[in-house]
Chain A
Amino acid sequence: MNKPLFATLLGGFLGIFDGLTALFTPEVRSQIVGIVIGSTIKGLLAGVIIGLFATKVHSLVAGTIVGLLVGGFFAYLILLMNPGHALNIMLPGCLVGLIVGYAAQTYTVKS
């Protein structure tokens, strides 16, 4: 599995999981399908960018920081569409990006 594919799948998986956590928030539970789809697309896009970066730059520190920034950027876009939930959107989004950035640098096996 190459780096972009690995990071995309991981980003998508974490995106689904991240979106599903909205089930624990009663006021947004009714919008869960849209949240999960949006969160998954966000994870997939972040994963593609992080994975492509990982193929060009082999640095754990740089990869992790880029993951954090990309995750944060996409979370910020979501925040622009849903103002008022800054902490709930930004913090997990940044963390997901960080995890994907770290994993893309360390856990990918080239085919």
Chain B
Amino acid sequence: MISEVALDRLTGMLRAPDLSGTRYEILGELGRGGMGIVYLARDTALEREVALKIVDRGGAGTRSDSPDALAHEARILARLEHPGIVPVHDFGELPDGRIYYAMKRVRGDRLDRWLAAGRDLAERLAVFLRICDAVAFAHAHTVVHRDLKPENVMIGEFGEVLVLDWGIARTQNREPENQNPEPENQNLEPENENPEPRTPNAEPVVGTPEYMSPEQRAGAAVDHRADIYALGVMLQVLGGPAAVAAIAAKARDDDPIRRYQSVQELAADVQRFLSGGAVFARREPLLDRLQRVYRRHRVPILLVLTYLAVRVLLLWLGGI
């Protein structure tokens, strides 16, 4: 009988890609996704560690169009040169014909684990704004991520924020639609990171159900506002007071028209909250407004009130 550990090791060896002819050596496995496996590898030419994404030969996450999709992902990433998007170093084909690409190895914590360590609101929102920066940059290059969630964001050792897993990102070739996209295949049930059946003229339903906008879940055409929806869900996960909850609610409105129409708009509202201003997403009750203004301008308000109090006191003393 072969033990489970030995069996795992044998399976691993069989599955380990043949990297002969490349400048990489496999050091271990970092994770598996819908399109392939991400290995920790050593770049022997530059003597550094990289993350190597290779189309899986079989088993988990195989997609009929994986090689094309992986190449597509690599090209998208190569196009998006931004500090918040993991950079691609290299792209090629293994001796067995599989496609791979090498990217920066990111050390740090996934956002969901980072949050579990307990962070204050300002810290959480600062990270959220960095995510918005990266996503806005992608949108400016007509790329829609379509699978934004805390598990796809890394917080680096030095506080850098990187948006990962652009595997199901797509290029948005047309102007943002001003109408609510009509669902075309209502009966499709979404499943995370698996290829879904297509109906004519419909999008394949891919992504993570909790973070998917209604139009994405329904398989209708999606634009950048699907990412805004996902960011709204993420903001809700990050938590915060009523104003933040209102921003999250507006971002994840079922109707794309009622959402923020750009990531910049969403980020600006979060920024307004952080700087003590009123947010567009919420009609503030008068008492809340007064409290916010007082919190923001406490010292000058107290100074002016002191001045007025002194003036009244002096008048009163003068009248005695």
Residues of A within 8 A of B (CB): 21, 24-25, 87-88, 91-92, 95-96, 98-99, 102-103, 106-107
Give A48 to B318 CA distance when docked, in angstroms: 32
Complex contact B303–A92 (CB within 8 A): no
Task: Find chain A residues with CB under 8 A from B300 CB.
Answer: 99, 102-103, 106-107
If A21-B315, A98-B303 are given as contacts, then 20 extra A-B residue pairs at C-beta distance below 8 Å, sorted by A number, are A21-B311, A24-B315, A25-B315, A87-B314, A87-B317, A88-B318, A91-B310, A91-B314, A92-B310, A95-B303, A95-B310, A96-B307, A99-B303, A99-B304, A102-B299, A102-B303, A103-B300, A106-B299, A106-B300, A107-B300
B152 interface residue (CB < 8 Å to A): no
Task: Find chain A residues with CB under 8 A from B306 CB.
Answer: 95
Partner of B307 from the list A24, A99, A107 (CB cut-off 8 Å) is A99
**Chain B interface, DSSP helix/strand/loop, else mixed:** helix
Complex contact B314–A92 (CB within 8 A): yes
A-B pairs with beta carbons under 8 Å apart, 24 shown: A21-B311, A21-B315, A87-B314, A87-B317, A88-B318, A91-B314, A92-B307, A92-B311, A92-B314, A95-B303, A95-B306, A95-B307, A95-B310, A96-B307, A99-B303, A99-B304, A99-B307, A102-B299, A102-B300, A102-B303, A103-B300, A106-B299, A106-B300, A107-B300
Partner of A88 from the list B299, B303, B307, B314 (CB cut-off 8 Å) is B314
Could you give, for residues 287-310 of chain B, a 1 whenever the CB lies within 8 Å of some chain A CB and a 0 otherwise?
A: 000000000000110011011001
Task: Find chain A residues with CB under 8 A from B311 CB.
Answer: 21, 92
In this complex, what residue of B is CB-closest to A60? B299
Q: Which of A91, A95, A98 has the most CB of B within 10 A?
A: A95
